[in-house]
Amino acid sequence: MTTETAFLESSNYTASGLRGAHAYLLPSLLSLSGDLPPRSRILDIGCGNGSVAAEFARRGHSVVGVDLAEAGIRIARKSCPAGRFEVLAADKHILERLGEEPFDLVYSAEVIEHLYDPRSFMAGCYAATSSKGKFICTTPYHGYLKNVTLSLAGGWDKHLNPLFDGGHIKFFSRKTMSALMTESGFEKLQFHGSGRFPYLWKSMVMEAIKP
């Protein structure tokens, strides 16, 4: 997973608990994974401080989280001792480096928009997902109505603030995210919005199955 040093430095995790987008994304993640059998194996790619993974662990699942922010991993290990958390990049070799079998559910929340090489990242997500397993990826939503609303409100400088170290460098639409996931081999894609009102969603949540 290639990313900017500035992004890692800006991920100044100092405490456990949900932060930022994870707070409004958690209900969607839990709802879309509700059909998982007990003690399923789950991988959180870009786990941060482990707050979302901890929610799955509380529900009896076996969780593993990876992130490049060492501060977040240290907090995750303390706050969710039932899980396994590693400082590790997500690419097609992720299972080999983890020494793990493919997972029943792989998810990544608000990570891909920070990456120079989303194809390598998606290849890692695909490799980590078991056959017939589910993958969920969230990223900020950009659609016609939201883009027009931002333009009319003069909100682009705030929304795409270039002065924010470690900010977003990739801006996905439903079409481009679907193309990337399909290109990587995922099937049966479904789209969901999360946060705020329909068509002005803060994030889009894409789920898919590995054949």
Full pLDDT tens readout for the chain, 211 residues: 343 333 444 466 777 788 789 999 999 999 999 889 989 999 999 999 999 999 999 999 999 999 999 999 999 999 999 999 999 999 999 999 999 999 999 999 999 999 999 999 999 999 999 999 999 999 999 999 999 999 999 999 888 888 877 788 899 999 999 999 999 999 999 999 999 999 999 999 999 999 9
Give the CATH number of the domain where residue 174 resides: 3.40.50.150
Our CA dihedral for 180, 185, 190, 192, rounded to 10 degrees, sits at -40
The whole domain housing 118 covers 5-209
Angle ∠(22,31,82) on CA atoms, nearest 5: 65
How many domains is the chain partitioned into structurally?
1
- Compute the distance between CA of residue 43 and CA of residue 194 in angstroms, rounded to an integer: 21
